Amino acid sequence: MTMEPMTLDRAQDYLQKYYGYPEFREGQRNIVSSVLNHRDTLGIMPTGGGKSICYQIPALMLPGLTLVVSPLISLMKDQVDALITAGIPAAFINSTLSGKEVNDRIRAAAQGDLKLLYVAPERLELDWFREEMSHLPISCIAVDEAHCVSQWGHDFRTSYLAVAPFVEGLSQRPIVAAFTATATPEVMDDIVKLLRLREPQVFVTGLGRDNLAMTVLRGENKREYVMAYTAEHAHETGIIYAATRKEVDQLYDRLQGAGISAGRYHAGMTDNERAASQEGFLYDDIRVIVATNAFGMGIDKSNVRYVIHYNMPKNMEAYVQEAGRAGRDGEPSQCILLFNGQDIMTQKFLIEQNQQDDERKHNDYRKLQQMMDYCYTNRCLSNAMLDYFGEAHEDKPCGTCSSCTDDRELIDMTVDAQKIFSCIHRMRERFGVSMVASVLKGSRNKKVLQYGFESMPTYGTMSNRTEKEISDVINVLASDGYLALSEGQYPVLKLQSLAADVLKGQRQVMQRVARPSRTKTAGLSGYSRTRTRDDSPSAVNETVFEQLRLVRRELAGKERVPSYIIFNDATLREMSVVCPQTESEILKIKGVGEVKFRKYGKPFLDFFQNQNQVDFIDDYE
């Protein structure tokens, strides 16, 4: 589908005027075109890929109001603050408002004073709210985090099922546009069906983000690693995710004790404590926040330079969502997952604690196994992620993930693999990883002896290895497709056709041996975090960049908004390269729109003009 050239030009004019970007990113153009052509639309775009622009620009161009269904209060507030800062009339309705404030905002929408109104999905279930909305000129409903409508998604919320009945209850059906960062083909089908999208245009934009370096580290001393990494990156903003409240509290205490500007966030804190932590992080008063997965879904902070997962997440969808909070401004950033076997037990415990039906639990175990495969794979991590989400891609390494930059020696593991496969076959494919490892090690534990496995030819054939080492090899073989694990709490190993080829001597198995000694925070891709990818190393003046951050911080304090809402780090870095002296020069910098320049541009322009005078005096002297 193509938009009329005049309409596309107008859309790009709005993009430049309000957002300061001369053209749409990959994927945005098609989605904007689809919505403006009055087509129901499903957009799958990576976190930081600019999903919000895909409905905010059409909202400015379509008559009437765009109603945005958004799941979290913090997400609504951040987006509305950013819109108002950019000169776009917007508001939200949620539980933080009084009855009078709610009525005032509905009245403003009815009078045409708003272009976007954000609401939580739960509000669509209220009879009085549906009645009020029926009188408004709603031209589009944008459903953010649309994966929440599917019980097979990682964050199912029953309130999202109210969207379709709400839409059908309106006297005139608006355009429905749904957006999410992560959706498997199964979840995409659910979104279309459960939101009752009509012949939707579906657009999947590449989930891979080349500014993110993905890293999985196995066997690290997690606590020491985190302490060393945060100390080394003390001036950068980061998020550390941990699986339990206890781990969050312990890490927070250690970071605070080491003098790191840290905060914490989990469900065991009071509402006021959580709000204070989140605000401190948004306003850069806190550099590092340690949190459970309860934190971050509504965070639109653009300058997060690293996300560390202290524990393996429960599934790939959650991991991609959380890791994707790094580098939303397009700057090089790190996504580091610290993994050990205890993480598996923790996630299994959490699955068992959830009150859910057997089908849902079965699905959670399947997704957990896929997450484990990602942690053990030797393949390119970017390709493994794209394969999980069913996205077509070139089968070439990304060159930046920990698998692609792994310099360990590649050795022939075919004999060990044959021992493992033969053992699984002789055990009739009825047991899991730990039991097979016990037999190969030659353990004399009760279960091994009970089943008589000590008399098997493969018993003790890998006695020179620890059971953990054998288990790791088995898990790597599973992630590489030689073995499959059944679903459920106690998965059983099954041989695949590739394993048969190895047993017949028709295929070789290669694996990497233990990494040589390295510094505490090695294993990362080596991205420079002090420049944009388009600038030469000497182009960005770090002193100027830090001075610009101070100018931005002062403005943000006066406006009572997070610093990144004024201008993001990427915009400031480009300023430090260009050193604009005139209005036309600063307006050419990405992220400086006309409206923002009128509000905030003068202090930055004054900074460069004054600096130029100082430079001239220095040269004269």
C-beta neighbour count of 165 within 10 angstroms:
12
Which H or E run includes 494?
strand 493-495
**Co-location of 558 and 458 in the same domain:** no
**Co-location of 505 and 446 in the same domain:** yes
d(C-alpha 187, C-alpha 516), whole Å: 42
Question: Does 537 fall in a domain?
Answer: no
Confidence of residue 363 (pLDDT cuts 50, 70, 90): confident
**Co-location of 112 and 30 in the same domain:** yes
pLDDT at 527: 36
Using alpha carbons, select from 228, 185, 227 the residue that is nearest to residue 204: 185
Using alpha carbons, select from 511, 223, 475 the residue that is nearest to residue 344: 475
The tens digit of pLDDT for each residue in 471-498 reads: 989 988 988 889 988 877 788 999 998 8
5 has a pLDDT exceeding 70:
no
Q: What's the rounded mean pLDDT across residues 44-56? A: 86
Confidence of residue 539 (pLDDT cuts 50, 70, 90): low
C-beta neighbour count of 178 within 10 angstroms:
30
**Co-location of 67 and 187 in the same domain:** yes
d(C-alpha 591, C-alpha 429), whole Å: 58
Question: Does 397 fall in a domain?
Answer: no
Question: Does 526 fall in a domain?
Answer: no
- Which value, to the nearest 10 degrees, does the dihedral of the CA atoms of residues 76, 82, 84, 88 take? -100
Q: What's the rounded mean pLDDT across residues 534-539? A: 45
In single-letter form, the type of residue at position 500 comes to: A
User: Do 44 and 6 meet the contact criterion of CB atoms below 8 Å apart?
Assistant: no
pLDDT at 529: 38
d(C-alpha 116, C-alpha 596), whole Å: 19
Burial class, 372, CB count within 10 angstroms (exposed 0-12 / middle 13-18 / buried 19+): buried
- What is the count of structural domains for the chain? 4
d(C-alpha 49, C-alpha 29), whole Å: 12
Using alpha carbons, select from 485, 495, 473, 345 the residue that is nearest to residue 416: 473
Question: Does 400 fall in a domain?
Answer: no
Q: Half-sphere exposure of residue 10, counting CA atoms within 13 Å on the CB side? A: 12
Q: What is the DSSP string of 84-97?
A: HHTT--EEEE-TTS
d(C-alpha 551, C-alpha 542), whole Å: 14
Question: Does 536 fall in a domain?
Answer: no
pLDDT at 6: 54
**Co-location of 259 and 365 in the same domain:** yes
Question: Does 450 fall in a domain?
Answer: yes
Q: What is the CATH number of the domain that holds 576?
A: 1.10.150.80
The tens digit of pLDDT for each residue in 94-139 reads: 888 899 999 999 999 999 999 999 999 999 999 999 999 999 999 9
**Co-location of 360 and 452 in the same domain:** no
Q: What is the CATH number of the domain that holds 471?
A: 1.10.10.10
**Co-location of 198 and 219 in the same domain:** no
Which H or E run includes 117?
strand 116-119
**Co-location of 272 and 359 in the same domain:** yes
Q: What's the rounded mean pLDDT across residues 371-383? A: 90
d(C-alpha 167, C-alpha 173), whole Å: 6
525 has a pLDDT exceeding 50:
no
Using alpha carbons, select from 209, 202, 183 the residue that is nearest to residue 389: 183
Task: Catalogue the long-range contacts made by 484-487 (C-beta closer than 8 Å, 24 or more residues apart).
Answer: 485/369, 485/432, 485/433, 487/362, 487/365, 487/366, 487/369
Q: Which stretches within 71-217 are classed as H helix?
A: 73-85, 99-110, 127-133, 163-169, 185-194
**CA R_g for the chain:** 27
How far is CA 231 from each of CA 225, 455, 521, rounded to the nearest angstrom?
10, 53, 10
Using alpha carbons, select from 531, 536, 611, 609 the residue that is nearest to residue 573: 531
Its pTM stands at 0.74
Question: Does 532 fall in a domain?
Answer: no
Question: Does 523 fall in a domain?
Answer: no
d(C-alpha 415, C-alpha 418), whole Å: 5
- Which 8-state DSSP code applies to residue 125? G
The tens digit of pLDDT for each residue in 553-584 reads: 889 888 888 888 899 888 998 999 999 999 99
The tens digit of pLDDT for each residue in 190-204 reads: 999 999 999 999 998
**Co-location of 16 and 164 in the same domain:** yes
* Phi, psi (rounded to 5 degrees) for 332: -55, 130
Confidence of residue 249 (pLDDT cuts 50, 70, 90): very high
pLDDT at 297: 52
pLDDT at 291: 93
Query: Can you give the residue range of the structural domain that contains 597?
Result: 542-620
Instruction: Please state whether beta strands 493-495 and 483-485 pair in parallel, antiparallel, or not at all (unpaired).
Output: antiparallel
* Phi, psi (rounded to 5 degrees) for 596: -65, -35
Task: State how far Cα 356 lies from the chain centre.
Answer: 25
Chosen domain end from 512, 534, 551: 512
**Co-location of 36 and 124 in the same domain:** yes
pLDDT at 526: 38
The tens digit of pLDDT for each residue in 403-462 reads: 999 887 788 999 999 999 999 999 999 999 999 999 999 999 999 999 999 999 999 999
How far is CA 242 from each of CA 338, 521, 603, rounded to the nearest angstrom?
10, 18, 40
By residue count, the chain amounts to 621
User: Do 380 and 479 meet the contact criterion of CB atoms below 8 Å apart?
Assistant: no
* Phi, psi (rounded to 5 degrees) for 499: -65, -40
d(C-alpha 31, C-alpha 44), whole Å: 10
Q: What is the CATH number of the domain that holds 83?
A: 3.40.50.300
Instruction: Please state whether beta strands 65-69 and 201-204 pair in parallel, antiparallel, or not at all (unpaired).
Output: unpaired
Chosen domain end from 204, 228, 257: 204
Q: What's the rounded mean pLDDT across residues 361-389? A: 89
Instruction: For the chain, give the percent of residues with pLDDT over 70.
Output: 91
Confidence of residue 514 (pLDDT cuts 50, 70, 90): low
620 has a pLDDT exceeding 60:
no
How far is CA 522 from each of CA 402, 517, 525, 549, rounded to the nearest angstrom?
10, 10, 8, 29
**Co-location of 377 and 273 in the same domain:** yes
Q: What share of the chain is helix, strand, coil (3-state, %, to 5)?
A: 45, 15, 40
∠ CA 472-478-481, nearest 5°, is: 145
Q: What is the 3-state secondary structure (H, E, C) of 243-288?
A: CCHHHHHHHHHHHHHCCCCEEEECCCCCHHHHHHHHHHHHCCCCCE
530 has a pLDDT exceeding 60:
no
Using alpha carbons, select from 616, 570, 610, 609 the residue that is nearest to residue 592: 570
Confidence of residue 609 (pLDDT cuts 50, 70, 90): confident
In 107-224 the beta strands, taken as DSSP E runs, fall at 116-119, 138-143, 175-180, 201-204, 212-218
The tens digit of pLDDT for each residue in 173-192 reads: 999 999 998 788 888 999 99
**Co-location of 42 and 141 in the same domain:** yes
Instruction: For the chain, give the percent of residues with pLDDT over 90.
Output: 54
245 contacts: CB under 8 Å, gap ≥ 6: 266, 267, 268, 292
Q: What's the rounded mean pLDDT across residues 588-603? A: 90
Confidence of residue 154 (pLDDT cuts 50, 70, 90): low
- Which 8-state DSSP code applies to residue 148? G
Confidence of residue 64 (pLDDT cuts 50, 70, 90): very high
Q: Which two tokens stand for residue 394?
A: 């070139």
Q: Residue for token digits 């201008």?
A: 567
**pLDDT mean across residues, the chain:** 87
Confidence of residue 263 (pLDDT cuts 50, 70, 90): very high
In single-letter form, the type of residue at position 197 comes to: L
469 has a pLDDT exceeding 50:
yes
